[in-house]
Amino acid sequence: MMKDIIQLFKIGKEMGLSKKEINKVLIFGNSKHTLLYKSLLIITFIFFGILLIILGIEAILGIEASRNTYAAGTFYSTVKEKDFTGKK
């Protein structure tokens, strides 16, 4: 994608366009509904950002919830406090 953008800049320079005019074309400046497209782009970025944050929190909480107290393949301990209180 970066190669395409660089190529567009080169083509624009060869045509004699300024950097401002090239950026205008790349950022919907040449279309009929410029404000609509820009706002949709911002809303899309915000949506994906929130989605990424939520998925990150879910992953962190999921890891915490799935941790076992005992390692795999081990038996649960049957030792209790009362086993130690009677012996001195």
pLDDT in tens, the chain (88 residues): 678 777 877 888 888 888 777 777 776 666 677 788 888 889 999 999 999 998 888 877 776 655 666 666 666 667 777 777 765 5
pLDDT of residue 52: 93
Q: How many domains does the chain have?
A: 1
Please report whether residue 76 resides in a domain.
no
82 lies in a domain?
no
Domain assignment of residue 53, yes or no = yes
User: Quick check: is 78 in a domain?
Assistant: no
Whether residue 50 lies inside any domain: the answer is: yes
**Domain coverage including residue 50:** 31-62
Q: How far apart are CA 21 and CA 36, in angstroms?
A: 20
Specify if 21 maps to a domain. Answer: no
The verdict on residue 36 lying in a domain is yes
Who's near 29: CB < 8 A, 6+ residues apart? 23
- Does the predicted model carry a pTM greater than 0.75? no
**pLDDT score, position 65:** 58
DSSP string for 1-68:
-HHHHHHHHHHHHHTT--HHHHHHHHTTTTSS-HHHHHHHHHHHHHHHHHHHHHHHHHHHHHHHHH--
pLDDT at residue 63 in the model: 66
